Amino acid sequence: MNLTILGAGRMGGTILRMLVRGSGGAWKAEVCEPDAKGREALAKETGAGVKFVGQAEELSEPEVVLLAVKPAMLQAVAGWLKGRKDSYLLISILAGVTTEKLAAEAGSMARVVRAMPNQALRQNEGVTAICAGPGAKKGDLEVARKIFESGGYVLEIEEEQMDVVTALSGSGPAFMAKWAEELADAGVRAGLTPKAAEELAARTMLGTGAVLVREKITPGQLCAAVASPGGTTEAGLRAMQAGIKDLAEKAMGAAVERAKQLACGK
């Protein structure tokens, strides 16, 4: 199937690498990336099987378009999208941009699906939420699912939940990494070497996620299993309790609000 990727920055490049790594030749990819250095770097990574261009006008007629430009650039590529002669599937990963707005900008030939992946696709541990938009059929959702399942878990949701997903799992890797950084820094202040503290924090986070997912237990259940009455874990959890809930609310709220602002072009 012919796949066109518009924008190969951080997430677009991650998705391209994921597809080249795991698709088994299922996709014939063309990539439009205006930044010459970015194109050259990706071309070296992905090999001769991917065609790179600097302008959308150099692209072929696509069956599937993966829209991975910055939200503010949507109007800049809208003319090319509207100029398509045949019906095509448009999969957008633009934060905050609704399927209704995408359909209006892309024109009547587009069948719209919205997706929100995260950077864990790099390690085949990604999570991606998808939802159907104007013109999209069940088969279109399956195509989107197939793309992102090559890099992890895919969940179908309602569009009104997408901004929260953007905040929780889209921004989540950075939130988790920040917590690991703070734990490691606290470990250094308590006497560990930086290398040991960083390794322990990262691997503890990795293992915790694996336990939660593979054993299908809740975070609360894991907390209870680790925290013996009167023990060290219980003491630490009690110290955290005063501020961690408020901190999570603030981080999620700020990210959700920013997603809504992006939808308004701010």
pLDDT per residue over 9-37, tens digit each? 999 999 999 999 886 567 889 999 999 99
- Fold of the domain spanning 2-158: Rossmann fold (3.40.50)
Q: CB within 8 A of 211, min separation 6: which ones?
A: 217, 222
What is the pTM (predicted TM-score) of this model? 0.92
- The yes-or-no verdict on residue 146 having pLDDT over 70 is yes
What is the rounded CA–CA span in Å between residue 7 and residue 73?
10
| Paired tokens of 70 | 């910055």
Average pLDDT over residues 52-57: 94
- Per-domain residue ranges of the chain: 2-158, 172-263
Residues near 83 by beta carbon (within 8 Å), at least 6 away in sequence:
none
Predicted local confidence at residue 83, as pLDDT: 94
Confidence of residue 122 (pLDDT cuts 50, 70, 90): very high
**Mean pLDDT of all residues in the chain?**
94
Provide the pLDDT for residue 24: 58
Q: What is the pLDDT of residues 162-185, one digit of tens each?
A: 999 999 999 999 999 999 999 999
Q: What is the pLDDT of residue 266?
A: 75
The pLDDT of residue 120:
97
Do the domains 172-263 and 2-158 match in fold? no
Query: In the 3-class helix/strand/coil scheme, how is 46-89 assigned residue by residue?
Result: HCCCCEEECCHHHCCCCCEEEECCCHHHHHHHHHHHHCCCCCEE
Using DSSP's 3-state secondary structure scheme, residue 255 falls into: helix
Is 62 in contact with 88 (CB distance < 8 Å)?
Answer: yes
How many other β-carbons are positioned within 10 Å of the β-carbon of residue 107?
14
Query: Domain 172-263: which topology?
Result: ProC C-terminal domain-like fold (1.10.3730)
